[in-house]
With several copies, the nearest count.
Chain A
Amino acid sequence: MGKQTRAIVQGITGNQGSFHTRLMLDYGTKIAAGVTPGKGGTTSVGVPVFDTVASALERTDANASIIFVPAPFAKEAGMEAIDAGLSPVVIITEMIPARDSMILIEYARTRGAAIIGPNTPGIITVGEAKLGIMPGDVFKPGRVGLASRSGTLTYEIAASLTHEGIGQSTCLGIGGDPFTGLNFVDVLKLFRDDPGTDTVVLIGEIGGSAEEDAAAYIRDTKYPKRVAAYVAGRAAPPGKRMGHAGAIITGTEGTADAKMKSLRDAGVLVAEVPSELPRLLLQQVSPLQ
């Protein structure tokens, strides 16, 4: 992701699709084409629109996709992008049936494509390009890589880092759904190999075991970069979905406290409240391990 990214916007003619295409273009993102079935031959926000991804690629050159299509069509839109060899495929769409996401993620895995999301704010290479719906102005270039399960909370934390003078390299949402293409472990691997990133910030929440898995990975691989984290949902009761499809404590599994403990035990700097994150990073300048 960066200056070399040229994206297709699937669902470009919808409200969200056209609105955010404009904002992505404003941020400097290269948008090669849009795709909306039945709207081929038109343009949206100045971008040429095609009926299918394959026909778009006959006329333009792209290597990534961002998807805004409604949930019932998102699985096939993702497959279409993957069949065309696009990667990453950023799926903004929320409320996709879990079974559809499960199958799509397996489809991507077996074909070597990276899916970001679903139900993600997207990904931003700060100062270069964004494939997503995040407000560009809360970020500033720097060396912190940030991955999150939520949208607005990411902007909140990015803004507070920016405010304290801590810039970011790449920020992305892994998505708020039970099944996501990239998880925290995948993202940690990417940041490990990214020379532009010194520190990784993980913003987790209740439900599932993505944070525990990340903690295990950090511990087991003696992760070479500094990691800090915040986990939302300490005040959430069990058995209730807190907005995100994936944010639910089932039985005694997936509590914020358990996640925070796992991360701390793995040497991660864990903030009690979001505003503590920049303070932790400013205090602890050098990598932990």
Chain B
Amino acid sequence: MKLFEYEAKSIAQNLGINTPKGAIASTSEEARDIHKRIGGEAVIKAQVLVAGRGKAGGIKFASKPDETRDRANEILSMTIKGEKVKKVLVEQKASAKKELFASIVLDRANRCQTVLASDQGGIDIEDVARQTPEKVLRHRLDPVFGMRSYDARLIALKLGYEGIQQSTFSDFLSNLYRLSVIYDAELVESNPVIESKDGRFVAADLRVIVDDNSLFRHPEFQERSKEISGEVTALESKARDNGLAFVELDGDIGIIGNGAGLVMATLDLVKQYGGKPANFCDVGGGANAEHVATALQLIQGAEKVRAVFVNILAGITRCDEVAKGIVDVKKVMGLKKPLVIRMVGTNQEEGRRILKSAGLTAMDKMDEAARLAVSKVGA
């Protein structure tokens, strides 16, 4: 679950991490008042969960409160990559002696957390990593003992810090690490970290992604994860509420399958044969009729969908349940889009009998079924 910048910063402040002076505003008037209160030059930042708000014009500067009101007004009327801007963060623009980059990520290959840090902050760190990999320092953390003060200090040292600044920056890193532990963050990233002229380190921007699987031990986020849908489309949100693993795509062939790998392979096949998948939808292992029916209803209900391809390899899942789900939809609301079914495995005969009784048939091979589904949209 991605946190909004202002949420991440609020958490960070409580852990003793410096952030720029500022506050969150839902209206342009609030934004103006905040600027009045904090003084100096202000930066107004769209609070969205999608990446790339800067390029999209979601970050603006203003030297006077009235100007801040106008800029906030502009940003609050924006939609960035499909996400409506509802709030802006108004902050004092920090004067930087230096801009750095610091993040703590899950390091899959090494099965630990790894710190990435660079003194080339404020710009796209992936570009830096690609063009000048030696500018991005990587430091692995012990999976059990985490970041010790000497880990943090060594990173600070390699970024060129000595004496008191070495301690100050390593304390800053240690606090980012504590944040990652306390909030089960799969990513904590500050870009830029600003070294101010008086030697403080300030998280001018802060991204935090909380591990979805840890939400059971973070009751403070459970409600929030349902409320805020900026990260997902309306259809995704609805599907996920119904227990489906669902990702909306921009094609026209709706896909339903069981098992993440199988569904991914189904998308690949459809694409291979020239089709465009409208979604990824995994009904999961052991899905029952109701599950399948919900998925089918949702997908055939989407306007852009012009055909639906159901691909089931039944193991724990049973073909008869899948068939029942499909037939239920047919009976209750009718099949609104051309439907191709591939269904093999557990209780295959019973499943096919149920389909047949409703005038439907299932195919054996996913390749052939995929080809047929693509042909339904005339590709």
Contacts and interface: CB of A to CB of B under 8 A. Distances in A.
Interface in B302-316: 313-316
Interface residues of A, number: 77
Contacts, number: 211
Given A55-B154, A96-B213, A98-B186, A242 B51 contact: no
B148 interface: yes
Contact of B264 (A40, A95, A205): A205
A80 B150 contact: yes
B265 A273 contact: yes
Given A232-B264, A237-B249, A79 B315 contact: no
B268 interface: yes
A102 B109 contact: no
Q: Report which residue of B153, B249, B314 has the largest number of chain A beta carbons within 10 angstroms of its beta carbon.
A: B153
Given A53-B150, A80-B148, A243 B282 contact: yes
A264 B109 CA distance: 20
A19 B286 CA distance: 11
A179 B106 contact: yes
A244 B259 CA distance: 9
Contacts of B109: 208-210, 213
A102 B366 contact: no
B366 A210 contact: no
A102 B112 contact: yes
Interface string A13-25: 0000001000000
Interface centre among B211, B212, B366 (most CB of A within 10 A): B211
Given A97-B213, A98-B213, A273-B269, A242 B263 contact: yes
B153 A52 contact: yes
A155 interface: yes
B8 to A, nearest CB: 18
A273 B369 CA distance: 13
Nearest to A54: B154
Interface in B144-177: 144-145, 148-150, 153-154, 157, 162-164, 166-167
B153 A51 contact: yes
Given A71-B213, A213-B109, A233-B268, A244 B261 contact: yes
A105 B216 CA distance: 21
Given A40-B162, A97-B211, A176 B345 contact: no
A203 B259 CA distance: 14
B217 A72 contact: yes
A252 interface: yes
A106 B211 contact: no
Contact of B106 (A40, A72, A98, A237): A98
A46 B108 CA distance: 40
A148 B157 CA distance: 40
B247 interface: yes
A232 B265 contact: yes
A152 B157 contact: no
A34 interface: no
A95 B261 contact: no
A138 B245 CA distance: 25
Contacts of A210: 108-109
Contacts of B265: 153, 156, 230, 232, 273-274
A97 B108 CA distance: 14
Residue with the highest number of chain B CB atoms closer than 10 Å, among A41, A79, A243: A243
A195 interface: no
Interface string A116-156: 00000000000000000111001000000000111111111
A45 interface: no
Contact of A152 (B149, B262, B367): B262
Interface in B227-268: 245, 247, 249, 257-265, 267-268
Contacts of A234: 267-268, 271
Nearest to B255: A235
Given A52-B157, A103-B144, A179-B111, A98 B260 contact: no
B24 to A, nearest CB: 25
A77 B269 CA distance: 39
A244 B262 CA distance: 11
Contacts of B294: none
Interface in B265-297: 265, 267-272, 277, 280, 282, 285
6 smallest CB-CB distances across A and B, nearest first, come from A150-B261, A152-B259, A243-B260, A153-B261, A232-B264, A235-B267
30 contacts: A40-B166, A51-B157, A51-B162, A55-B154, A55-B157, A73-B149, A79-B148, A95-B212, A98-B184, A99-B184, A99-B214, A107-B145, A135-B316, A135-B346, A138-B345, A153-B264, A156-B262, A208-B108, A232-B268, A235-B270, A235-B271, A235-B277, A236-B264, A241-B247, A242-B245, A242-B280, A243-B280, A245-B213, A273-B265, A275-B365
Given A152-B258, A235-B249, 11 more contacts: A37-B149, A38-B162, A53-B150, A72-B217, A150-B261, A152-B259, A155-B315, A233-B264, A235-B270, A243-B263, A243-B282
